[in-house]
Structure 1
Amino acid sequence: MANPFSKGWKYLMQSLDTTIEENADPKVQIQQATEAAKKQHREVTESAARIIGNRNQLEMTLNRLVKDQEKLQDNARAALQQADKAAAGGDTTAATEYTNTAEIFATQLVTVEQEIEDTKKMHAQATQAAEQAQQQQRQSEVRLKEQMGQIDQLRAQVDQAKMQESSNQALESMQGIQADDSVPTLDSVRAKIEARYATALGAQELTENSVRGRMAEIESSGRDMAASSRLEQIRAELAGGSTAAGTGEITAGESAGDTDQEDTQGR
């Protein structure tokens, strides 16, 4: 059965890592990735340098052994020559000593030659390893340049993303701005003014209609009065005509005077 404390601790650490990952600054993470890429390339370069250095050291060792080989060969050859010369001169003791010396040189020469063979093998392996290390170092350098280019692009994208986020926040804040309820809006003021103006126009229209109506009424009343007066005049004329016909004594002068008077009254 799993330990509840261990499970809880792992869950807490995983949750903490997730929270940190979600809230991490992209530029900080880019910088971390940059440092990691540079560190990896630096380690590859240092490892390649050590491998190449080992090859160079084996080359120096091989050169030294070759020189020792040549020297030992010369010494052994010289000792043999001295031994032969001493033996030819009858000096057996010196001949024996030179011969022993030549054998020592020969023993050393064999040891050096064995070291040369071993060193050559190691040098061949080191040379191959150095070539691989150089190739890996070049690949690492190319990869680092590509990563640096990608990192520059990511940084530019982060800047663009921040600018876009700022623009979005500004737009959201603008959309969230509400009018102050304590201050009348232009629409409400316009509606009130238009309502008052329309009401005033309506009142003016009613007033004009009323004045025209009264004027028409007065004109109509005047016409009615004139018609009534004219009608009374006609009645009076009719009444006067009837009286003159009854008497039948209208003189020329009276007729003319009456006619003038009637015309004057008619006018």
Structure 2
Amino acid sequence: MANPLSKGWKYLMASFDNKIDENADPKIQIQQATEAAQKQHQQIMQHASQIIGQQKQLEMKLNRLVTDRDKLQEQARQAIQLADKSANEGDSVKAQEFNNTAEVFASQLVAVEQQLEQTTALHQQAEVAAKDAVAKSKESEMRLKEQMSQIDALRAQADQAKMQESVTKSMDSLNQFGTQDSSVPTLDAVREKIERRYADALGAQELTQNTVSDRMAEIAQSGTDMRASARLAELRAEALGTSATPKGQLEAGVEDAEELIDETSTPSATPETASPEADAPEASADESEKK
């Protein structure tokens, strides 16, 4: 029976890995895949270079052994010739020495030939391995180029997906303004605030228009307009030499305008105090008639 703790730990690790894969940034994963592919290619190239280097080393050793073999063969041949010459001259001691030297050269030659044979076999194996390593390195290079092109395509797709997500998020923010950030007001809240302020302003304006001072200002303005109309009619009549407006109506209009202005300017005055002021326009009108 499996250990529950070990089983639970494996489950947690698998769940944790799954969460990491779900929340991981695709561009980071692409970068990891790129580094892994480059590392693998680098390892293959390094291994191939080592094999080729070993083949080159065996080749140099083989050339050196061939040189040593040729040299020993020449030295052994010269020793035999000198021994034969000494024997023909009757010098048996010298002939024996040359023969011994020739035997030494022959022994060395045998050892070199054995090394040469072994090195030749190793060189052939290394040559085959080097050719295979070169082929694998070329294959790895082609595979790396293909992977890099795929990685570039994936990176472009990741960028496009990220931009699309940004556009979608922006559109959601426009449709539901302020729902993503609690510090930003919503459109409904802003609209309600503006409508409330506008309604308060309309209410204040309505109250202002209904005040006593506002009514007094309207009455005063109306009196001023009446006096201006009457004065304009008088000037027109004087300029044209005609009586466009009867004199009684003109005086009555002036008196009404002055009374209206006086009433608005002194609303708390009594009838006794208002009568002298009301007689002043009549006096001015009589003076104008006398002139």
TM-score tier (shorter): 0.5 to 0.7
TM-score after normalising by structure 1: 0.67
Q: Which amino acid aligns with 2:101?
A: T
* Residue 132 (structure 2) aligns with: 132
* Residue 179 (structure 1) aligns with: 188
1:51 lines up with 2:61 in the alignment: no
* Residue 100 (structure 2) aligns with: 100
Q: Distance in 2 between matches of 1:183 and 1:108?
A: 110
SS at match of 2:188: coil
Q: Distance in 1 between matches of 2:170 and 2:158?
A: 18
* Residue 118 (structure 1) aligns with: 118
SS at match of 1:182: helix
Q: Which amino acid aligns with 1:54?
A: Q
| More contact order relative to length (CA 8 Å, sep ≥ 6) | 1
Q: Distance in 1 between matches of 2:87 and 2:41?
A: 68
Q: Distance in 2 between matches of 1:152 and 1:139?
A: 20
SS at match of 1:156: helix
* Residue 73 (structure 2) aligns with: 73
Q: Distance in 2 between matches of 1:183 and 1:82?
A: 125
Q: Encode CA deviations 1:66-93: one digit per residue, 9 max, x unaligned.
A: 0000000011001001100111111111
Q: Distance in 1 between matches of 2:48 and 2:192?
A: 77
Alpha-carbon shift at residue 183 of structure 1 (Å) = 5.6
* Residue 18 (structure 2) aligns with: 18
Alpha-carbon shift at residue 172 of structure 1 (Å) = 1.9
Alpha-carbon shift at residue 174 of structure 1 (Å) = 2.3
Q: Encode CA deviations 1:204-246: one digit per residue, 9 max, x unaligned.
A: xxxxxxxxxxxxxxxxxxxxxxxxxxxxxxxxxxxxxxxxxxx
- Alpha carbon RMSD of aligned pairs, Å? 1.7
SS at match of 1:152: helix
Q: Distance in 2 between matches of 1:161 and 1:2?
A: 44
Unaligned stretches of 5+ residues in structure 1: 186-267
Q: Distance in 2 between matches of 1:76 and 1:15?
A: 79
Quick check: which has more Rg, 1 or 2? Answer: 1
Q: Which amino acid aligns with 1:123?
A: H
TM-score after normalising by structure 2: 0.61
Q: Which amino acid aligns with 2:113?
A: E
